[in-house]
Amino acid sequence: MLKLESVFTSALPADPIEAQYPRQVFDAMFSWVKPKGFPNAEIKLLNKDLCKSWNIEESVFTAQSFSDIMHGNLIAEGSMPYAMCYGGHQFGQWAGQLGDGRAINLGELALKSTYVTLQLKGAGPTPYARTADGFAVLRSSIREFLMSEAMHYLGIPTTRALTLSVTGESVLRDIMYNGDAAHEPGAIVCRTAPSFLRFGNYEIFAVRRDVVNLKKLADFTIDQFFGEFAGYSDKYLAWFKDVAEMTCDLIVHWQRVGFVHGVMNTDNMSILGLTIDYGPYGWMDDYDPNFTPNTTDLPHKRYRFSNQPMIAQWNLMALGKALMPLINDEQSIVSILNDFATHYEEKYHAMMSSKLGLEPSLVSKEFLQNLESLLEKDEMDMTMFYSQLLEIDSSTQQNEFIHILKDVSYNSGKMSDKCVNWLVEYQLLLKGSSLTSHQRRKLMQKVNPRYVLRNYMNQMAIEAAYQGDFGLVEEFFEMIKSPYTKNEKYEKWFAKRPDWAKEKIGSSMLSCSS
Ligand code: AMP
Ligand code: MG
């Protein structure tokens, strides 16, 4: 049977109230939770590769006891389930206490030299549920399971998904917030990560001027996850700097593949630089810097693709402000925030150069800006454009460009002069590169995914699953494991978003209702 430990809860203060009613929780990092339990729940997906990577016998995960633990029907040995207390800035405004309203942490699984926390999302309400029900619907759970795994295989830091279960109970949701509520199947995803701590876990104590608990949590975080700084006299600053760097790297990855998180509130920012909380995220089909997948974000598009780096910096500013009582050095915090912008520029430049298969020294800022502008104007499919660019080398004739980029643009007109001129310039740069054609292709293939989980694909898988057919969910779960390697089996998904999906809810835009 699965054995867990209570590393977080034994080190940090608990909410003394054990009753489950919604409330403000002070002087504590978490509240104990009794999972409601779902006697009719059933595991639909088990992430066997993740289990294997933990080196734990397969029988542990196939036992009935494991299924019972995943559904809150059984408490694992050593497990003391809890929900974390955190706050957050939502859409730029302080939103007060939020916390794990529907996420129940089971505890930590001890691996060879680390721990991994197991968390059930959608397993019932906690003291942080406020007015919500604590449940999750199948559609958003499929989206979370598949995309968190897709991100992992794309090489992007992320929480992982261990299981996807249907609860056998229905949940009422008003998808478009228009009074048209309907029952949907409930689901639970067991998510895993070294830690689910967010910027908001620290902010809540700072806002409440509770420096004692802020320090306790910061010390715990450093000891557990940033041990290299533990002995430093300025350990809080060193830690903050590291979080800024990890967050910077994360955003560069998102921009590389065209992922738009959609709700970059500070309660959705991992202290470990992981992609966390897969809600109304979206994938870029036609390259559009203004794209936001979240209907709630439409008025200002705060969380649009091109704003993600700036928002990450804003969120780090909120974290830096929260850590001020520990760091006591405003100037150093400001300089880390300023460095974020310069480091981002450098890393973005290096990343974009790798997408083009060129040494960064050959690629000017203007050349990249011209590329971004042509991708947008010519409505190029981001994923397909970069994949097809592999087919162009310095000797490709201009009249072949059209053939190579055929079916890559969403506008049916002829290839723009801007595009042709850029490609000609690209060929000149290729001539000046010291990489062989083979080396260049290898480099490009490592950073430009061929198979990505577009919004409409998720939606197709969800619609089939709602009819009881998980075939497409399973197919995508396989496909996402090798996103960079051409595979005949998946070539049908190397295609633009079909027209029917352009305006369809779930396939283009998503609400936060989940
Ligand atoms: P999110 O927008 O999903 O990041 O959630 C923001 C906050 O709302 C977090 O504190 C969640 O735990 C909480 N929340 C979202 N949906 C629910 C739900 N169905 N039941 C309880 N809490 C929820
Ligand atoms: Mg969240």
Mutate to test the pocket of ligand 1, among 128, 197, 263 (most ligand atoms within 8 A of CB): 128
Q: Which ligand is nearest to the CA of 196?
A: 2
Residue 131 lies in a domain: yes
Q: What is the mean pLDDT of residues 92-107?
A: 98
Sorting pLDDT into bands at 50, 70 and 90, what band is 507?
confident
Residue 72 lies in a domain: no
Spatial separation of the C-alpha atoms in residues 100 and 85, rounded to whole Å: 7
Ligand 2 midpoint to CA 268 (Å)? 5
Nearest-CA residue for ligand 1 atom 15 is: 101
Marked catalytic residue, from 15, 100, 242, 267: 267
Nearest-CA residue for ligand 1 atom 12 is: 101
Domain with 191, as residue range(s), is: 7-64+82-199
pLDDT in tens, 26-77: 999 999 999 999 999 999 999 999 999 999 988 999 999 999 999 999 999 9
How many structural domains compose the chain? 2
3-state SS track over 4-69: CECHHHHHCCECCCCCCCCCCCCCCCEEECCCCCCCCCEEEEECHHHHHHCCCCHHHHHCHHHHHH
Ligand 2 midpoint to CA 389 (Å)? 37
Both tokens assigned to 354: 């790798």
**Ligand 1 nearest-atom number relative to CA 126:** 21
Nearest-CA residue for ligand 1 atom 6 is: 98
pLDDT in the model for residue 412:
80
Ligand 1 midpoint to CA 181 (Å)? 18
Residue 49 lies in a domain: yes
Percent over 90 (pLDDT), the chain: 94
Spatial separation of the C-alpha atoms in residues 191 and 259, rounded to whole Å: 20
Q: What is the mean pLDDT of residues 462-468?
A: 97
pLDDT in the model for residue 62:
94
Ligand 1 midpoint to CA 102 (Å)? 6
Which of 272, 17, 261 shows the shortest CA–CA distance to 157?
A: 272
pLDDT in the model for residue 87:
98
Both tokens assigned to 187: 């689901």
pLDDT in the model for residue 513:
87
Whether 267 is catalytic is yes
Sorting pLDDT into bands at 50, 70 and 90, what band is 505?
confident
Residue 446 lies in a domain: no
Sorting pLDDT into bands at 50, 70 and 90, what band is 175?
confident
Sorting pLDDT into bands at 50, 70 and 90, what band is 215?
very high
> Which residues lie with the beta carbon below 6 Å from any ligand 1 atom?
98-102, 125, 128-129, 132-135, 263, 267-268, 277, 279, 512
Q: Which ligand is nearest to the CA of 123?
A: 1
Nearest-CA residue for ligand 1 atom 18 is: 134
Sorting pLDDT into bands at 50, 70 and 90, what band is 509?
confident
Last residue of a domain, one of 199, 226, 259: 199
Q: What is the mean pLDDT of residues 366-373?
A: 98
442 φ/ψ angles, rounded to the nearest 5 degrees? -60, -45
Sorting pLDDT into bands at 50, 70 and 90, what band is 512?
confident
Q: Which ligand is nearest to the CA of 186?
A: 1
Nearest-CA residue for ligand 1 atom 14 is: 101
Letter for the amino acid at 355? K
Last residue of a domain, one of 163, 182, 199: 199
Residue 462 lies in a domain: no
Last residue of a domain, one of 184, 199, 214: 199
DSSP tag of 164: E
Q: Whose structure tokens read 């995960």?
A: 61
Ligand 2 midpoint to CA 30 (Å)? 16
Give yes or no for residue 155 having a pLDDT over 80: yes
Spatial separation of the C-alpha atoms in residues 325 and 407, rounded to whole Å: 55
pLDDT in the model for residue 503:
82
pLDDT in the model for residue 200:
98
Spatial separation of the C-alpha atoms in residues 344 and 331, rounded to whole Å: 20
pLDDT in the model for residue 334:
98
**Ligand 1 nearest-atom number relative to CA 133:** 20
Residue 151 lies in a domain: yes
Spatial separation of the C-alpha atoms in residues 101 and 85, rounded to whole Å: 9
Q: Is 487 helix (H, G, I), strand (E, B) or coil?
A: coil
- Which residue did the predictor score with more confidence, 490 or 179? 490
Which of 159, 141, 125 shows the shortest CA–CA distance to 50?
A: 159
Mutate to test the pocket of ligand 1, among 36, 102, 130 (most ligand atoms within 8 A of CB): 102
Give yes or no for residue 176 having a pLDDT over 90: no
147 φ/ψ angles, rounded to the nearest 5 degrees? -75, -35
Residue 334 lies in a domain: no
Q: What is the mean pLDDT of residues 166-172?
A: 97
Beta strands in 204-264, from DSSP E residues, in sequence order: 259-260
pLDDT in the model for residue 179:
87
Q: How far is CA 403 from the centre of its chain?
A: 35
Residue 242 lies in a domain: no
pTM score, two decimals? 0.98
pLDDT in tens, 128-139: 999 999 999 999
Ligand 2 midpoint to CA 247 (Å)? 17
How much is the CA Rg of the chain, to the nearest whole Å? 23
pLDDT in the model for residue 281:
97
pLDDT in tens, 304-360: 999 999 999 999 999 999 999 999 999 999 999 999 999 999 999 999 999 999 999
Which of 32, 101, 315 shows the shortest CA–CA distance to 200?
A: 315
pLDDT in tens, 9-24: 999 999 999 999 999 9
